[in-house]
Structures are given as C-alpha cells and as structure tokens.
Amino acid sequence: MSNYNDDKYFDKDCIFCKIIKGDIPSNFIKENEYCVVFADLNPKAKVHLLVVPKPHVQNILETDEFLMNKVLETIKKVSKEQKLESFRVINNCGKGAGQSVFHVHFHILSGDNLEE
Ligand code: 5GP
Ligand code: ZN
C-alpha cells in the first residue's frame, strides 16, 4: 500500500484532495509519497502548518498504523527542517471538536503564546 496517487484514494468533492492532486495550486512546504504539508489558510499561530496524508480518509479513526507512522515521520522531519523548537500538534476529530475539513489532517502550531 504505497502508491497513494491512484484515483481510488481521491474524493472529487474534497478540498484537500484537490490540493494534494494539484487541482488547487498550493505551495507545499514538504511532500513525500504519503503526506503533503502546507500552510493553513487562516493561521492561528505564527507558524500554522497542516500535515495531510494523501489518501482520502475522513478522520483519525479511519487511519491505520502504517499511515500514522508516516504522519509521525513527516511531523518529525518538517519540525527539524523548519527549525521548530516548540510546537503543538492538533487533530480535530468530528464536527463537535471543530473538524471542518473531513480529510484527516494534523495542525502544527508554533510561535509565541503556546505555553498554556
Ligand atoms: P479543521 O477545522 O478541520 O481541523 O481544520 C481545517 C483547516 O483547514 C482550517 O484551519 C482551515 O483554515 C484550513 N483550510 C480550509 N480550507 C483551506 C484551503 O483551501 N487551503 C488551506 N491552505 N487551508 C485551508
Ligand atoms: Zn480528501
């Protein structure tokens, strides 16, 4: 399960799928076989990145260990590359938790005022 570029992993109505496919132009801070990383449109911190696994998976409950391992690797690499000393990783699962895009993603927040 390593080629996530196949159309079966793509949801034509999903904004993040369109970004991943390049149908909506974006600047990827990082891209590998499994994930893309790009800046959030409405940043909630000085640095606000989204780590988005390539296959269309609605939320964290629909992921598996393989994909989550790739997400973890990507978070580690991007934090090193972007020289983020302190940061917060957030996943919103479900409307009640504030999930608004139903393609699983992980927020990386870094900058001032994250002590609490
Ligand atoms: P959620 O609320 O689902 O946890 O996070 C979705 C995030 O995606 C929000 O922080 C929102 O600002 C961001 N977002 C929604 N649409 C776009 C887009 O088209 N481009 C980018 N870069 N971010 C988006
Ligand atoms: Zn999607």
| Confidence label for 1 from pLDDT (cuts 50, 70 and 90) | very low
Which residues line ligand 1 at a C-beta cut-off of 6 Å?
Answer: 15, 38-42, 50, 92, 98-101
Q: What is the pLDDT of residue 35?
A: 97
Q: How confident is the prediction for the chain on average, in pLDDT? A: 94
The residue with greater pLDDT, 68 or 112, is: 68
Distance 85 CA to ligand 1 centre (A): 24
Task: Note the pLDDT tens digit of each residue in 2-57.
Answer: 568 788 889 999 999 999 999 999 999 999 999 999 999 999 999 999 999 999 99
pLDDT digits (tens, 9 = 90+) for 81-108: 999 999 999 999 999 999 999 999 999 9
Q: Is the CB of residue 17 less than 8 Å from the CB of residue 104?
A: no
For 23-86, the DSSP string reads SS---EEEE-SSEEEEE-SS-SSSEEEEEEESS---SGGG--HHHHHHHHHHHHHHHHHTT-SS
The whole-number pLDDT of residue 2 equals 53
pLDDT in tens, 73-88: 999 999 999 999 999 9
Catalytic residues: 105
Mutate to test the pocket of ligand 1, among 16, 20, 42, 102 (most ligand atoms within 8 A of CB): 42
Q: What is the reported pTM?
A: 0.95
